Amino acid sequence: MRTRSLVGVLLVFCLFVSFGYAQVARDVELRPTGKGYGVAVDNSNGNGHVNGNAKPVRGNGINYHGGPVMLGTTNVHYIWYGNWSGNTATTILTNLAQSIGGSPYFNINTTYYDGSNRHVSNAVSYAGSTNDNYSQGTSFGDAGVQAIVARTNPTDTNGIYFVLTSQDVNETSGFCTQYCGWHTSATINGRDIKYAFIGNPARCPSACTNGTPSPNGNVGADGMASIISHELEEAVTDPDLNAWYDTRGQENADKCAWTFGTTYTTSNGGVANVRLGSNDFLIQRNWVNASGGFCSMSF
């Protein structure tokens, strides 16, 4: 999930591509990085897609490139990294994981499917959590995130392992400057393991929150709720970064980043747009892969 400050840069880039560079647009398509922006891949020889010469299935503003989606119940695993002692985030974000499945919001993801027309289901299960007491210190890169996941000995190929970092932790490949969180997959212990880095917006609220009052009185946790939702919906529809994304390399949640639709004021004066379980949240909208495609909070 890209930071707020990067949105304008991407818009300028998209206009640059759209006007005066038609040949480049035909030959080069961006593929996702999992971090909210795309990188170029040469399609002039037809080999830029996951299935060799196969062209992506286009429609609804987002395209299918032949890779897998996550089917059945998606299991959410939390890895609480750093110092979370006495922080209400552990309750707030656990409630999110326990409540997002079966909601009209997560139902948006059922509009995505694989090459056999098998659709993502509206089913999410909270599989539990572990704690990591700074095994990689307070500053590390992408390899450090994978190392944190690997330390848990992950075995669930239909799960997503979320590395949730405390406020004092920095991810050096671009947290707070290029992204707020990201997702990817890797072969760990011989299995295709999906995982995500979730930065703590309390470290950089101007980049990783929208600036409105926190609905649960915890700026870090409330900001992380939207980032977790963003990475969750991208991981189920594009787990290996080769399934659903558009020509700019944007995945479904990227297309609606930092848009929230209709909001309301909570009892503590915070701003929210959805209630899940026992908490109000301000969570970004997601891209509906139907009726031409649009951002929404439900389907």
Which pLDDT does position 29 carry in this prediction?
83
151's tokens: 């330390």
| pLDDT confidence of residue 9 | 43
Give the per-residue pLDDT at 28. 73
CA distance 79 to 57: 36
User: Given this model, what pLDDT does residue 42 score?
Assistant: 59
pLDDT in tens, the chain (299 residues): 999 866 554 443 343 333 443 344 445 789 999 999 999 975 544 434 454 445 688 889 999 999 999 999 999 999 999 999 999 999 999 999 999 999 999 999 999 999 999 999 999 999 999 999 999 999 999 999 999 999 999 999 999 999 999 999 999 999 999 999 999 999 999 999 999 999 999 999 999 999 999 999 999 999 999 999 999 999 999 999 999 999 999 999 999 999 999 999 999 999 999 999 999 999 999 999 999 999 999 99
How many Cα atoms sit within 13 Å of 135 on the Cβ side? 17
Q: So what's the pLDDT on residue 56?
A: 85
CA dihedral over 99, 101, 103, 109, signed as positive or negative:
positive
> What would the 3-class secondary structure string for the chain be?
CECCCHHHHHHHHHHHHHCCCHHHHHHEEEEECCCCCEEEEECCCCCCECCECCCCECCCCCEECCCCCCCCCEEEEEEEECCCCCCCHHHHHHHHHHHCCCCCCHHHHHHCECCCCCECCCCEEEEEEEEECCCCCCEECHHHHHHHHHHCCCCCCCEEEEEEECCCCEECCCECCCECEEEEEEEECCEEEEEEEECCHHHCHHHHCCCCCCCCCCHHHHHHHHHHHHHHHHHHHCCCCCCEECCECCCCCHHHCCCCCCCEECCCCCEECEEECCEEECCCCEEECCCCCEEECCC
